[in-house]
Amino acid sequence: MAQGLDVEAMLERFRERARAVKQRPLPPVAGEERTQFVQQAQRDFQDFAIVGDAVGSVEDGVLVLRVDLRPKEQ
Q: What is the pLDDT of residue 28?
A: 87
**Domain positions in the chain:** 2-66
Please give the model's pTM, rounded to 2 decimal places: 0.80
pLDDT exceeds 90 at position 6: yes
**Residues 21-68: pLDDT tens digits?**
999 888 888 899 999 999 999 999 999 999 999 999 999 999 999 999
Express the helix, strand and coil content of the chain in percent, nearest 5 each: 55, 15, 30
Element (H, E) at 66: strand 62-66
Q: What is the pLDDT of residue 73?
A: 83
pLDDT exceeds 60 at position 1: no
Which stretch of 8-12, 43-47, 58-62, 70-74 has the lowest confidence by average pLDDT? 70-74
